[in-house]
Amino acid sequence: MTAATVATDTFEVFGTTAVLLVTAAAALGPARQLADRELAAVDLACSRFRPDSALTVLNAAAGATVPVSPLFASLIAAALRAARLTDGDVDPTCGRALVGLGYDRDFAQVKALSPGPSGLPRPGGPVAAAAPVAGWRSVRLDQAVLRVALRNGAQLDLGATAKAWAADRCAELIAAQLGCGVLVSLGGDIAVAGPPPAGGWRVRVTDDHAAGPQAAGQTVTIAQGGLATSSTTVRTWTAGGHQVHHIIDPATGQSARSSWRTVSVAAGSCVDANTASTAAIIRGEAATGWLSDGGLPARLVRPDGTVVTTAGWPADDEPATAVS
């Protein structure tokens, strides 16, 4: 099958852009229906900005044990697994820290309320107030009985893993139920399943998922698993006179100060790729050794555009562009 026979659908979800590719045009409609159903369920489970979400209920429970759905329990388990596999670098209890930095509402509103060109804060705009991260071990999840409690004042934010987890889940469901090859991209977190098109899925790796297929970066193909990119250049805003971003270093409760502006990782699943790319941003220089030791192919871009690769990631055919 050639790329020309791949059918595409693009839509908005989770405040970002989703792209759905399938290798059988007739499967596109049913695939979209499956994706819509799953993504709606994930959003209802773990949106931080919906008053009716399970996550909002849990965060408001003040440490009490709360019953949860199997889906929400799986999402929390995925987040805790990411924390465990990264020695706590990817921590789901960064909710309070994000609120402290002003990310307490839908990002479009946060951005709109950030100081304008004058640098003066807008009324109701974000202010920076450091908030400690309770730590992922404060989350007491019992999947057998579907109960969870947040200790030590922890507030969950599943933004680091939920989107990637949802991409994996959608891709698996679509491939299993419709028998076609599928790629699901949720804001640049990419999962593929089923038989790929000839030559694999072509992915443009760049800083911003919304930049388009010709943006500065590198094109690679994948045939299995997932590919995710984390960056300090996207989802940024100004709080307390400083530019901040959404990747929180649990050690400080502040936006991570990284050696890398952007890290892309390929892994056996999208959630694993995203776990590794987020951890790499937080780990800084130590990330290359950690990724290499784990056999994870990665492309790490420094603020000046210098590219470092690990574990078989192909060499760039063009230089990355520096970001000011």
Q: Which of residues 89-128 bind other proteins (CB under 8 A)?
A: none
Among the residue ranges 45-53, 65-73, 141-149, 295-303, the one whose residues contact other proteins (CB under 8 A):
295-303
Q: Cα 295 to chain center, whole Å? A: 21
Least distance (Å) between residue 166 CB and other proteins: 11
Least distance (Å) between residue 306 CB and other proteins: 18
Please pick, from the candidates 138, 229, 254, 255, the single residue that binds other proteins as defined by CB under 8 A. Answer: 229
Residue ranges in 148-177 that form contacts with other proteins under rule CB under 8 A: 163, 165, 168, 172
Please pick, from the candidates 68, 158, 183, 280, the single residue that binds other proteins as defined by CB under 8 A. Answer: 183
User: Which is closer to other proteins, CB of 81 or CB of 302?
Assistant: 81
- Alpha-carbon distances, residue 78 vs 15, 38, 84, 85, 113 (angstroms): 21, 16, 10, 11, 32
Residue 255 touches other proteins, criterion: CB under 8 A? no
Residue ranges in 297-316 that form contacts with other proteins under rule CB under 8 A: 297, 311-315
Q: Helix or strand or coil: residue 75?
A: helix
Q: Which token pair is 302?
A: 């420094």
Please pick, from the candidates 115, 200, 284, 303, the single residue that binds other proteins as defined by CB under 8 A. Answer: 200
Name residue, tokens 């805003």: 237
- CB neighbours of residue 48 within 10 Å: 21
Do 276 and 298 form a contact (C-beta atoms < 8 A)? yes
Please pick, from the candidates 208, 259, 284, 303, the single residue that binds other proteins as defined by CB under 8 A. Answer: 208
Residue 45 touches other proteins, criterion: CB under 8 A? no
Among the residue ranges 14-22, 26-34, 39-47, 64-72, the one whose residues contact other proteins (CB under 8 A):
14-22
Among the residue ranges 51-59, 63-71, 178-186, 248-256, the one whose residues contact other proteins (CB under 8 A):
178-186
User: Which is closer to other proteins, CB of 148 or CB of 267?
Assistant: 267
φ and ψ of 247, to 5 deg: -90, 110
User: Which is closer to other proteins, CB of 65 or CB of 219?
Assistant: 219
- Alpha-carbon distances, residue 207 vs 244, 246, 321 (angstroms): 16, 14, 10
User: Which is closer to other proteins, CB of 121 or CB of 230?
Assistant: 230
Please pick, from the candidates 108, 118, 212, 324, the single residue that binds other proteins as defined by CB under 8 A. Answer: 212
Identity of the residue numbered 256? A
51 in the Ramachandran plot: left (φ > 0), alpha (ψ -120 to 50) or beta? Answer: alpha
* Residue 310, burial from CB neighbour count under 10 angstroms (0-12, 13-18, 19+): buried
User: Which is closer to other proteins, CB of 95 or CB of 217?
Assistant: 217
Please pick, from the candidates 9, 17, 132, 307, the single residue that binds other proteins as defined by CB under 8 A. Answer: 17
| Contacts of residue 86, Cβ cutoff 8 Å, sequence gap at least 6 | 275, 276, 278, 279, 282
Residue ranges in 51-90 that form contacts with other proteins under rule CB under 8 A: 78, 81, 85
CB neighbour burial string for 136-146, b if at least 16 within 10 angstroms, e if fewer: bebbebeeeee
